[in-house]
Amino acid sequence: MLPAFEYVRAESIRDAVKHLGCEGARLHAGGTDLLGCARERIFPVKKVVSISRIKGLHGIRESADGGMRIGALTTITEVAEHPLVNQRYSALAQGASEVASPQLRHQGTIGGNLCQKPRCWYYRGEFRCLKKGGDLCFAFGGENQFHCIFGGDPCYIVHPSDTAPALMALGAMLRIVGPRGTRSMALEQFYVLPSQDVERETVLETEEILTEVILPPPRPGLRSSYRKVRARRSWDFALAGVALALVFDGDRVGSAGVVLSGAAPVPWRSKAVEEVITGVRPNREVIAEASEAAVRGATPLEKNEYKVPLFRGVMEEELRAACSM
Ligand SMILES: Cc1cc2nc3c(=O)[nH]c(=O)nc-3n(C[C@H](O)[C@H](O)[C@H](O)COP(=O)(O)OP(=O)(O)OC[C@H]3O[C@@H](n4cnc5c(N)ncnc54)[C@H](O)[C@@H]3O)c2cc1C
């Protein structure tokens, strides 16, 4: 059952920031994750601050430099179906269309998708785990088949969003508004590893609002894609996923953004793969070497060793597809 809470509809960003400064206040966008967290008592919720009425947070528009600005309240369906997103940033369109179910994509927003809480069943269940102030990660010696293989210590969650890896590969920036004004940062700087702070997933403070996602203009020769592997064809989170943003200069890869999903507590940038494929003409040997590099240094748990060959295989297939092989 949901706890009793006060409900406020903020009329402006300033108004929302003020309400979010109250103890136990939580921002509500589409509510598809927040209300589940409140019901499961993952964190205390005393005041729910809806931002849905705030003008200027909805919609997708082209920016003057040829890039794109996506308001935080834009639904995931709108992102997935937008013609320019499909034409210029196919990784993002594919990532958005892989999120959850049609109902959740209609209700869920891009801002909420980037800020959602992880899905670890110990964290979401009645366990006082490390993330909830306890002193143990129950996944480490427990049911860890869906947990991470990189960046885990001391908590082994996986980051849940399908849009974040695509946006990170594409070099997206975020605009954030809080009590002390506005700040911008690369999406890559937004997420926090458990070794940095086990109780948070992002650098966002509770009074801060993610207002906009900003994509750079697509570079000539850009080919981008997002591939998600899941246990069933119905809605499910990624077991393994690969976002690619390769910029071709003739038949060479001039630059590369490669990000894994379902691998780590944050969208996991694979610099090892980027290094192997950048500056070369990719052939089967290069791609095999890059796929091996994707899993180098992985530290699987007792029940998720299957993820290592899975990531190697998905990487190989995706790179071959991107290089038309
Ligand atoms: C059954 C199910 C299956 C799912 N499967 C997938 C999946 O396969 N892939 C995937 O990517 N996701 C999946 N999701 C997650 C879903 O995509 C998210 O619930 C949704 O994107 C959250 O958007 P929302 O607008 O409803 O956010 P809300 O629920 O309103 O908010 C989520 C969190 O983000 C914070 N927040 C929201 N917007 C902002 C903002 N602008 N600024 C600061 N903080 C903010 C809220 O305070 C809250 O903590 C699934 C969810 C469910 C329930």
Q: What is the mean pLDDT of each run of 10 residues along the chain (325 residues)?
A: 96 97 97 97 96 95 97 98 98 98 98 98 96 96 97 97 98 98 98 98 97 98 97 92 98 98 98 98 97 98 98 98 93
Closest by alpha carbon to 319, among 218, 221, 243?
A: 243
In three-state secondary structure terms, 191 is: strand
Per-residue pLDDT tens for 25-75?
999 999 999 999 999 999 999 999 999 999 899 999 999 999 999 999 999
Residue nearest to atom 27 of ligand 1 (CA): 112
Find all residues with CB under 8 Å of 88, minimum gap 6, and list them. Answer: 68, 218, 222
Radius of gyration of the chain (CA): 19
Ligand 1 atom closest to 105 (CA): 17
Distance 251 CA to ligand 1 centre (A): 39
Classify residue 126 by its DSSP letter: T
Please state the pTM of the whole predicted model: 0.98
Per-residue pLDDT tens for 251-261?
999 999 999 99
| Interatomic CA distance for residues 34 and 67, integer angstroms | 30
Q: Which residue has the tokens 């947070």?
A: 57
Contact 261, 241 (CB under 8 A): yes
Return the best residue to mutate from 26, 27, 200 for the ligand 1 pocket (most ligand atoms within 8 A of CB): 27
Distance 187 CA to ligand 1 centre (A): 16
- What is the pLDDT, as a whole number, of residue 206? 93
Distance 25 CA to ligand 1 centre (A): 17
67-72-76 Cα angle (round to 5):
90
| Interatomic CA distance for residues 102 and 143, integer angstroms | 29
Contact 268, 240 (CB under 8 A): no
139 CB less than 6 Å from ligand 1? no
| Interatomic CA distance for residues 202 and 189, integer angstroms | 9
In three-state secondary structure terms, 110 is: helix
Contact 31, 107 (CB under 8 A): yes
Closest by alpha carbon to 273, among 288, 255, 253, 291?
A: 291
31 CB less than 6 Å from ligand 1? yes
| One-letter amino acid for residue 23 of the chain | E
113 CB less than 6 Å from ligand 1? yes
- What is the pLDDT, as a whole number, of residue 17? 98
- What is the pLDDT, as a whole number, of residue 9? 97
Burial of 300 (0-12, 13-18, 19+ CB in 10 A): middle
323 CB less than 6 Å from ligand 1? no
- What is the pLDDT, as a whole number, of residue 233? 83
The residues facing 181 across adjacent strands are: 178
Contact 60, 46 (CB under 8 A): no
